[in-house]
Amino acid sequence: MFPDFDARLSRYAYLVSLLPQKIIRDLGLNLELRRRAIASCTPYVSHGQHGALVLSNLDEEVSRKSIVDLTGSETEFERMKNFYNLSRVFAEQVWDSMLEPLLAKDEMAGRFKDNEISREAWRSLVEEPLGNAIERYFRNDLVRGLVFTDAKIGVFTYPHDPSLVQNRCFLYHLIGNKTGEWKVPVGGMGAVSSELEQTARKAGAEILTNVNVHALNVTGKTRSVEFRVDGKLETVDARFLLVNFGRNVLARFTGRLFQPDRTDEGSVFKMNMLLCRLPQLKAKKYLATEAFCGTFRSDEGYEQMNASYDQASGGRLPENTPCEMYCHTLTDESILAPDLHERGFHTMTLFGLDSPWSLFARDNANMRREAEKRFLASINQWLEQPIEDCLAVARDGRRCIESKSPVDIEDALGMYHGNIFQNAPTFPFAARKEQVGTWGVETEFENVFLCGSSALRGGAVSGIPGHNAAMKVLEAINKAPKTER
């Protein structure tokens, strides 16, 4: 991203949770997914003093003490354990089914009838808006907000949203490999892609990149793709066609109507930075290396996010923009060249919430500039010196910072309205009768399957839709008469 510096910072996705161990094993991927020592750090001001709520991935005592410091009692900590137990119970019942055909909702619900905790998990996570459970469990606004952000990452929603898109988004952030822990792929996200590439090539795949697709023919006896590569027009015929761009792009190529609803709109502002040093916190008790090692949260109070949602819904950039920031190099320095590491450089990634596509659609360049300012101001309120002063500077004098609005994300990747999941995430069971027993990858076209995020149960770096599309192909081959296999 910053050509003067050897830092392999992923422009978009950077953490892995939803890639099933089964897929890693099946494909023989050699990946190291590293645990972050700190889960999150949320700075706050109390009685005029700067403090921070720090949750540790390694030491429960650190988290307990930090919650007691914030709230004055153990209650919120115990409630947090009980609340997250609901998603653990949910993950236990559901995770393995992600690589199986879709169950009917009733059948899935049947797995949650054994005891009161299971019944509560189903009710709180699937039947009722997530806001009910959060408000039932927690009293502290900062804790409520911290819990709710997982329901907002990428989608435009609020706690009592009747669409339940907040519940679906929350579940995707909490069920990965039954723990919901987000880990750092050592070597960066590029290391994951490289492993997949090598595995595919070893299995005989031919991979072309920088390909400009011109046309898809999906209605004939065989499917075909017309594309331009290295200036040459080529056509490939195929019995099966697996697509990982979104339903929006597929609709465009096939001349069909794409009918999204409001929950499909993307709502993320992404910033990447290269720093020549880490900024220090106003909360002196915490080292920058602790604070930024996990998710550093700013303006993510529960009521603050209700306000920012309302402001963004009204067509305005929120006054206080909720966001979270994360320093990859504190967990995995291998993405930096050794000399940069020795000089104290770090990468920093910011993920901004309540930034729906509609805010940027009319005047993207100006809104991007304004949003960048507000997100930086949000972070700076907790820092001794502005983060801008810590940015590395390229040879041409430009600071190493890059911002992407949902409009930019759609322009670059085709993701509908910049939705990082391609479209609204789905519940991990069939929403309609006709989906029961399918793999969630089927399209209206014969032998054309979705193998990316827009499949049911897609969303994130997971490989799940790819696995399920492959199973669908095998199923179709096995069902065909022997002569056609």
Ligand X SMILES: Cc1cc2nc3c(=O)[nH]c(=O)nc-3n(C[C@H](O)[C@H](O)[C@H](O)COP(=O)(O)OP(=O)(O)OC[C@H]3O[C@@H](n4cnc5c(N)ncnc54)[C@H](O)[C@@H]3O)c2cc1C
Q: Tell me which residues touch ligand X (CB under 6 A).
A: 12-16, 18, 213, 244-245, 249, 268, 270, 409, 413-415, 420-422, 452-453, 459-461
Nearer to ligand X, 12 or 44 (CB): 12
Shortest gap between Cβ of 212 and ligand X (angstroms)? 6
The smaller minimum CB distance to ligand X, of residues 251 and 361, is found at 251
Residue with tokens 């994951």: 192
Q: How far is the CB of 68 from ligand X (least distance, A)?
A: 31
Q: Which of residues 36 and 64 has its CB atom nearest to ligand X in the complex?
A: 36
Q: How far is the CB of 13 from ligand X (least distance, A)?
A: 3
Neighbours of 204 (CB within 10 A): 6
- Comparing every residue's Cβ against ligand X, the nearest one is 452
**Nearest CB to ligand X, comparing residues 268 and 336:** 268
Q: How far is CA 129 from CA 136, 228, 416, in A?
A: 12, 47, 25
Residue type present at position 11: R
Closest separation between CB of residue 253 and ligand X, Å?
7
Dist CA 62 CA 56 (whole Å) = 6
Rounded least distance, CB 117 to ligand X, Å: 28
Identity of the residue, 315 or 414, whose beta carbon is nearer to ligand X in the bound complex? 414
Asked if 418 and 407 touch (Cβ cutoff 8 Å), the reply is yes
Task: For residue 365, give both structure tokens.
Answer: 């360049």
Helices of type H across 1-139: 21-27, 60-71, 75-94, 105-110, 116-122, 130-137
Quick one: tokens of 29? 């991927």
Q: Measured from the CB of residue 28, what is the shortest distance to ligand X in angstroms?
A: 20
Q: By C-beta, is 80 or 293 nearer to ligand X?
A: 293
Cβ(417)–Cβ(264) below 8 Å:
yes
What does the block give as tokens for 292?
């930024």
CB of 421 to ligand X, least distance (A): 5
Q: In terms of CB distance, is 131 or 440 closer to ligand X?
A: 440
Shorter beta-carbon distance to ligand X: residue 31 or 268: 268
What's the CA gap between 167 and 150, in Å, rounded? 9
Smallest separation (angstroms) from ligand X to the CB of 351: 7
Minimum Å gap between C-beta 93 and ligand X is 22
Distances 191 to 26, 187, 327 between C-alpha atoms, Å: 18, 5, 18
**From CA 285, how far away is CA 292, in angstroms rounded?**
14
Secondary structure class of 400 (helix, strand, coil): coil
Beta bridge partners of 347: 274
Give the residue with the Cβ less far from ligand X, 377 or 413. Answer: 413
Q: Least distance in Å: CB of 461 to ligand X?
A: 4
- The count of C-alpha atoms lying within 13 angstroms of the C-alpha of 173, restricted to the half-sphere facing its C-beta, is 18
Q: Which residues pair with 53 in a beta bridge?
A: 42
Select 215 or 393, whichever has its Cβ closest to ligand X: 215
CA angle 370, 375, 381 (to 5 degrees): 125
Are residues 430 and 102 in contact, defined by beta-carbon separation less than 8 angstroms?
Answer: yes
Tell me which residue has tokens 């137990």: 85
